[in-house]
Amino acid sequence: MTKVIHYIWWLGILCWSLSACSDDKLLNEKGLVEVRLSLNTDMSTRTSSDIGVATHSVDRILVLPFQKVNLSLPDTQNDNFIPVWPLARQYNIPVFPSTNLSFTLENSKTYKILVIGYNHADYDHNNPSGSGNRVILSSQPLPTTLANFQLYPKLPNQVPEFFICYGTASKGSTTLGTVFVPDDGVTLSGTLGRIVSGLGVKITNIPSYVNSVTLLADNMVKAIRVADTTITVIQTTGDNESRVIRQQNVVNGTVDFGVFLLPSGKTSKLTFYLDIGLGSLTQRYTMYIEDSNVTQGGKLMLLPNDAVIVSAGYDKINYGFVITRDINLEDDVWDGINPTP
């Protein structure tokens, strides 16, 4: 009986080996090579006393290869890389780090691999026109290259939590970089980092005759380039689009907003407003935020992978919010927010 079991075990090993060899041979015949990807994140869970428990929502990724067109041009020239959509792969990631991912590339081409992380409820690459998708991955202008590939939420005030990274190629102990030619033994690794911005606004000591508070912005960013977060589309005066970010009813004299928005950068600082609901009446106040490294003249800059939290008592909403915290989300203090729906 023992000999029979051993025979079956060795037969299984032999079949597995032959199958693996057969798969590799088939890929080689098609001019393809399998590449393995190990992925981690900058997203450990920490607590924020200002806006709740900080948890990231990423449980799905899109691996999108960009192929180099003119091999004589520098690797840093992003408009020389075009997306290869037929080779793109979407994976559900139940936990990070993830080390069991693999996909195929043409073995004679040069690539840069963009990895985009998001929540399964926010986007589905396998159903890009689905009504549940909250974002569009597109380009402006055509044709699509890595230089103009953009992240375009359907609503500028409903920005999903998106992360990106570029895969770094290695072969054995040698690091090849983010631009590489796939070959047997080449592996990829990457660490996802948040590309969107966080904003927290807290108002306390609100009198009982105030029913609700609405947070608004003057011109919200609508789309950014993934490669460098440059703004590609922004709201403009007279476009008749809503400027409302969130509305909250007052609870125990307090409202506490926590939202994700696309980064405005240093050149497109935002002015924020508050609509105070007084029964059938509404009063609007301009939020003036004290000058700091992220504010100037009351206007606020939102940077990628960064969060700004401001607060004030109700008696100061018309002349001075203070910066509670200005936090880079990669630091050891805080790296996320729990946005209000």
Tens-of-pLDDT digits for all 341 residues of the chain?
444 444 444 444 444 444 444 445 445 546 788 888 887 766 443 323 333 334 567 899 999 999 999 999 999 999 999 999 999 999 998 887 777 788 999 988 999 999 999 999 999 999 988 889 999 887 766 678 999 999 999 999 999 888 899 999 999 899 999 999 998 888 999 888 888 988 989 999 999 999 999 999 988 999 999 988 899 999 988 888 999 999 999 999 999 998 999 999 888 889 999 999 998 899 998 888 888 888 888 888 898 888 888 888 888 877 667 665 544 444 433 343 334 33
Same domain, 93 and 145: yes
Residue-range definition of the domain harbouring residue 128: 33-194
Same domain, 127 and 257: no
Phi, psi dihedrals of residue 85, rounded to the nearest 5°: -60, -35
The residue out of 149, 169, 194 marking a domain boundary is 194
The residue out of 194, 209, 232 marking a domain boundary is 194
Same domain, 100 and 218: no
Long-range pairs for 321-329: beta carbons < 8 A, 24 or more residues apart: 321/201, 321/287, 321/288, 321/289, 321/290, 322/289, 322/290, 323/289, 323/290, 323/292, 323/294, 323/295, 324/50, 324/200, 324/202, 325/50, 326/292, 326/293, 326/294, 329/42, 329/193, 329/194, 329/198, 329/305
Same domain, 74 and 108: yes
3 occurs within a structural domain: no
222 occurs within a structural domain: yes
9 occurs within a structural domain: no
Domain count, the chain: 2
Please choose, from the candidates 51, 66, 101, 140, the residue with its C-alpha nearest in 3D space to the C-alpha of residue 325.
Answer: 51
The residue out of 194, 223, 243 marking a domain boundary is 194
**pLDDT score, position 315:** 85
**pLDDT score, position 74:** 96
Buried b (16+ CB within 10 A) or exposed e, 16-43: eeeeeeeeeeeeeeeebbebebbbebbb
The Cα–Cα gap between 163 and 145 comes to: 19
The whole-model pTM stands at 0.81
Same domain, 141 and 227: no
- The answer for residues whose C-beta is within 8 angstroms of residue 184's C-beta and 6 or more apart is 33
Same domain, 158 and 231: no
